[in-house]
Amino acid sequence: MKRFSIGVFALAAAAAAAGCGSSGQWAGSTETAKSVAQTYAKIVHQSYADSLQAGQALAGAIDDLLAAPTADGLEAAKQAWLDSREPYLQTEVYRFYDGPIDNPEDGPEGMLNAWPIDEAYVDYTEDAADAGMINDDDVDLTLPFLRGQNELGSEDNIAVGYHPIEFLLWGQDTTPPSAHLPGQRSYTDYLADKGPHAAHADRRAQYLRLLGEGLIDDLTQVRDAWDLSDPSSYGSKFVAGDSSAAIEKILRGMITLSGSEFAGERLQVALDSGDQEDEHSCFSDNTHRDMVGDAKGIQNVWRGTYAALDSANDVSGPGVQALVEELDPALAAEIGAQIAKSLQLAEALRPTPTDPAFDELISRGNTAGNAKVQALIDSLRVQAKLLERVYDQLGFSAARPGG
């Protein structure tokens, strides 16, 4: 399912288009807002460039695995997938305002990061050995076909993106959370002459390779959309346009990710169900890093900084914090502390030899684990409310994003 909560934006979008809020007046510094928008655009472009670089490394590791499947090759591809998630997760704060990543016409977010998936839509499962498009010889596996099947008929019919790749590398996580194990797919799934799933090993390899190609295409699209050297790009127009409208979009992304998406869909849903199937990266047990990446992305936009894969490409400039400090210094300090607290609580979800992974933290009856997750939820909700105060004080519509 493409879990995606955007709140109520109709009036907010209208206010942004008009360059003002319900009060009819923009209350911020236009000069500072312009600088913040430029820093933001630089961060967006660089983080998507890093995501593409890491995605290309993942596609290369997949090619290496499929050229000569081995246990070591599978582990290398898994590590490349984990590495690829680090920059991408920091980009999720750029969603929720119909920008290049999720505009209704051609935004690729649903092709990149939709979740959770019905595993049986793609490949065999513990209960259905012949399930999925991989095991259906009547299906001609091509990238356009797979894109057309994405979310076709059901929101959990996810055919492309990071999470189907994750599934094809790790397999289902069928062990209990207490086992502290992710999915246990064998490299023999990619050998046509070995293992219980050899009959469709070639199709499985073809499918996985296509997913790597699609990932690169989609990440290239969003990177190029924010290329400030191209005057026709979305990013260039974002910086050159109405600075108050740009700030409204930036805040909308921060508020919605903090509240309804991160605290709600990513955390509260999983905590309420207690089911590891509701964790964001359920096959790899990498969900704790998803939480850190999302929290870090919000902090990047707030501070106006981004630590690139290559430090020579680090970005630093006025962030949203600079604008709020001019408006309300006390509120700026409170928000900065709250964002730092949320990141710290997200990092505290990291599993260790003595601390359980996310799927065990959300398990029913794990009082201490549940409390750790709830603490992050509570912090994010406070964070969203504080950012809503900024939204209001800057003069935007009272119909602000849902938090």
- CATH number of the domain where residue 150 is located: 1.20.1420.20
Looking at the domain assignment, is residue 150 inside a domain?
A: yes
Sign of CA dihedral 286, 291, 292, 293: positive
Look at residue 9 in the predicted model and tell me its pLDDT.
42
CA 397 to chain centroid, in Å, comes to 27
Looking at the domain assignment, is residue 2 inside a domain?
A: no
**Rounded CA separation 237/232 (Å):** 7
Nearest by Cα to 146 from 213, 67, 77, 223? 213
Looking at the domain assignment, is residue 4 inside a domain?
A: no
Looking at the domain assignment, is residue 62 inside a domain?
A: yes
Q: What is the pLDDT of residues 343-383, one digit of tens each?
A: 999 999 998 766 788 989 999 999 999 999 999 999 999 99
Which residue numbers in the chain have pLDDT < 50?
1-19, 21-23, 403
Query: Looking up tokens 């699609």, which residue turns up?
Result: 214
What is the domain range of residue 164? 10-393
- Could you tell me if 63 and 209 are in contact, meaning their C-beta atoms sit under 8 angstroms apart? yes
Q: What is the pLDDT of residues 106-155, one digit of tens each?
A: 999 999 999 999 999 999 999 999 999 999 999 999 999 999 999 999 99
- Count of domains observed in the chain: 1
Look at residue 10 in the predicted model and tell me its pLDDT.
37
Whole-angstrom CA distances from 339 to 187, 297, 335, 336 are: 41, 10, 6, 5
**Rounded CA separation 140/127 (Å):** 24
Looking at the domain assignment, is residue 54 inside a domain?
A: yes
Looking at the domain assignment, is residue 60 inside a domain?
A: yes
Looking at the domain assignment, is residue 326 inside a domain?
A: yes
pTM of the entire predicted model: 0.93
Looking at the domain assignment, is residue 146 inside a domain?
A: yes
